[in-house]
């Protein structure tokens, strides 16, 4: 049976609704209809092929902030069968160098001065120069699209464990994520997405762009998050934003900004959050202000996995849950022996379906370890599923610790701490203890102007969680180490053996 060919919604809509607005680059004000975007992509194919010798299977990398030029580059690479590799521009030069050596690109687009030695075969080109070349080039001849099960994108994980891996994303994976989020998030032809999330991350590059482009909607691409600008854009009737994705930390920055005026967000379907746990109290705070905050769960390796229904009553009743499994997702919650657990019991999430990665770039052994013999992907995430199918994340398997013979999941403690009125952020790790084997160490960021003491924090936790889960130590810090997607880097916290700002 022949492989499917790649889905190309931009080309479809260029013929079905050529004059419809497809994309706006907010930094420059440039706009593309579907017809113009399709032609720009085809001109970029010509630049890649004739100007840089890019062919199927070769890698095209970027170190650059969000722009419509990156979308055009990725789509052109896809049509050629080349592989798009966006690097985190926030990484240190040594980290970027390691990734470039791993993926070995022929071309690197960048938007600022490079401070690293490139692989010998890699040619650097500024984004602005590439965009000018695209504008001047004639559209390349069209050709059959590559099979949809070949690598199209490599996304390097943001490194909560300190060692990024290149996750292979095929066009079949990306299409399934567009369907999955599109169904859960009520995406349609009239949808307008504001993309602040970095396009080196699955949320920015896949979840923010593919669902609206599949439906013939519009994407507004911002160079990055700015709380004031985003507040004003969400309230701007000329933009008409319907969907906005962010991590919980960005949402807090929105509501702490002087320009926060959710009553003016009249076109917004919902704010969609992911990337980090979102406390129920925070979700209910937004609901009280008339904004549906829709939490979910996804992975670089799987795209959109879970999502809350876009229904105020359901969000309120299930606040704290990551929602229901997306339509193409197969989901199991299993014990250590791979047996399905009963409703309400914690277990590891296993996944299957067309959105699942085929594996990790240049890492066959890690790929083999990630999958069971019968093809289920082991996420390493612990969750509970209730009788209605709603899934609540408990923690990462590797972050669990055992205190006095009891399993302790740090996220449960963190949620209890975040319920404290003076705590802005919290992270908990397990540390060795002579008596109990392991105990909790909590790192807390206190809200400006507030003061806390350890006795208060311990009693606050003790009223909400079992005594053996209450941390034995509380350390104050000005900030927590996070990845670009908002995930706390606990491998860094494990190196913090003393208070960074003072002990609570």
Domain count, the chain: 1
Q: Over 70: is that where the pLDDT of 146 sits?
A: yes
Q: How many residues in the chain?
A: 504
Summarised one tens digit per residue, pLDDT across range 276-290 is: 778 888 899 999 999
The answer to whether 24 and 238 are in contact (CB under 8 A) is no
Q: Which of 91-95, 132-136, 209-213 has the lowest mean pLDDT?
A: 91-95
**Complete DSSP assignment for 7-64:** P-HHHHHHHHSTTSEEEEETTTTEEEEHHHHHHHHHHHHHIIIIIH---TT-EEEEE-
- Mean pLDDT value of segment 254-276: 94
Domain membership flag for residue 436 = yes
- Mean pLDDT value of segment 130-150: 96
CA–CA dist 351, 207 (Å, integer): 18
Domain membership flag for residue 416 = yes
Q: Which of 150-154, 179-183, 186-190, 415-419 has the lowest mean pLDDT?
A: 415-419
Domain membership flag for residue 215 = no
Range of the domain at 478: 400-503
CB under 8 Å to 308, separation ≥6 — which residues? 184, 294, 295, 296, 314, 315, 318, 321, 322, 323, 324
Q: Coil, strand or helix: which one is 316?
A: helix
Question: Residue 131 — pLDDT band, cuts 50, 70, 90?
Answer: very high
The pair of three-digit structure tokens given for residue 98, joined into one six-digit string: 């390691």
> Which pTM does this prediction carry?
0.85
The pair of three-digit structure tokens given for residue 90, joined into one six-digit string: 């926030």
Kind and range of the H or E run holding 236:
none
Number of H helices, E strands in the chain: 17, 25
Question: Residue 453 — pLDDT band, cuts 50, 70, 90?
Answer: confident
Summarised one tens digit per residue, pLDDT across range 58-100 is: 999 999 999 999 999 999 999 999 999 999 898 878 889 999 9
User: What local confidence, expressed as pLDDT, does residue 158 receive?
Assistant: 59
The answer to whether 474 and 457 are in contact (CB under 8 A) is yes
Domain membership flag for residue 463 = yes
Domain membership flag for residue 372 = no
Q: Over 70: is that where the pLDDT of 352 sits?
A: yes
User: What local confidence, expressed as pLDDT, does residue 87 receive?
Assistant: 95
Write out 389-420 in H/E/C secondary structure.
CCEEEEEEHHHCEEECCEEECHHHHHHHHHCC
State percent of the chain over pLDDT 70. 96
Domain membership flag for residue 150 = no
CA–CA dist 141, 410 (Å, integer): 55
User: What local confidence, expressed as pLDDT, does residue 502 receive?
Assistant: 41
Return the closest-CA partner of residue 321 out of 289, 293, 355: 293
Domain membership flag for residue 455 = yes
CB under 8 Å to 388, separation ≥6 — which residues? none
Q: Say which CATH number the domain at 427 has.
A: 3.30.300.30
Domain membership flag for residue 445 = yes
């Amino acid at each position: 049976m022949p492989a499917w060919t790649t889905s190309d919604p931009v080309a479809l809509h260029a013929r079905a609704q050529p004059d419809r607005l497809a994309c706006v680059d907010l930094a420059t004000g440039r706009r593309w209809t579907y017809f113009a975007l399709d032609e720009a992509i085809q001109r970029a194919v010509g630049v890649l092929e004739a100007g840089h010798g890019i062919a199927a299977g070769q890698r095209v990398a970027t170190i650059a902030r969000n722009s419509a030029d990156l979308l055009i580059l990725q789509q052109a690479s896809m049509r050629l069968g080349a592989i798009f590799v966006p690097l985190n521009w926030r990484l240190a030069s040594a980290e970027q160098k390691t990734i470039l050596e791993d993926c070995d690109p022929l071309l690197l687009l960048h938007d600022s001065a490079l401070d690293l030695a490139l692989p010998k075969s890699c040619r650097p080109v500024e984004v602005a120069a590439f965009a000018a070349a695209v504008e001047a080039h004639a559209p390349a001849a069209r050709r059959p699209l590559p099979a949809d099960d070949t690598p199209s994108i490599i996304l390097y994980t943001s490194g909560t464990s300190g060692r990024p891996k290149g996750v292979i994303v095929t066009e079949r994976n990306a299409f399934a994520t567009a369907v999955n989020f599109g169904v859960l998030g009520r995406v349609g032809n009239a949808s307008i997405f504001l993309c602040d999330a970095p396009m080196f991350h699955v949320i920015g590059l896949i979840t923010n762009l593919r669902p609206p482009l599949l439906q013939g909607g519009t994407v507004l691409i911002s160079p990055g998050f700015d709380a004031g600008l985003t507040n004003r854009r969400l309230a701007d009737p000329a933009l008409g934003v319907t969907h906005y994705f962010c991590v919980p930390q960005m949402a807090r920055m929105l509501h702490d900004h002087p320009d926060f005026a959710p009553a003016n967000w009249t076109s917004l379907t919902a704010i969609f959050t992911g990337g980090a746990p979102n406390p129920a109290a925070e979700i209910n705070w937004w609901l009280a202000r008339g904004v549906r905050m829709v939490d979910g769960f996804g992975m670089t390796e799987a795209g959109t996995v879970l999502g809350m229904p876009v229904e105020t009553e359901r969000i309120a009743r299930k606040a704290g849950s990551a929602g229901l499994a997306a339509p193409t997702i197969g989901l199991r919650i299993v014990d250590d022996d791979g047996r399905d657990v009963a409703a309400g019991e914690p277990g590891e999430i296993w996944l299957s379906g067309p959105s699942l990665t085929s594996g990790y770039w240049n890492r066959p052994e890690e790929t083999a370890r990630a999958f069971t013999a019968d093809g289920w992907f082991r996420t390493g995430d612990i969750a509970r599923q209730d009788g209605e199918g709603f899934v609540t994340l408990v923690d990462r398997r590797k972050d669990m610790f055992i205190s006095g013979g009891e399993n302790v999941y740090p996220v449960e403690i963190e949620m209890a701490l975040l319920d404290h009125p003076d705590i802005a952020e919290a992270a908990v790790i397990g540390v060795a203890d002579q008596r109990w084997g392991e105990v909790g160490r909590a790192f807390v960021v206190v809200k400006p102007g507030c003061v806390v003491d350890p006795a208060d924090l311990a009693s606050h936790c003790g009223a909400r969680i079992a005594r053996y889960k209450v941390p034995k130590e509380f350390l104050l810090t000005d900030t927590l180490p996070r990845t670009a997607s908002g995930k706390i880097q606990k491998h860094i916290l494990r190196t913090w053996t003393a208070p960074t700002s003072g002990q609570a």
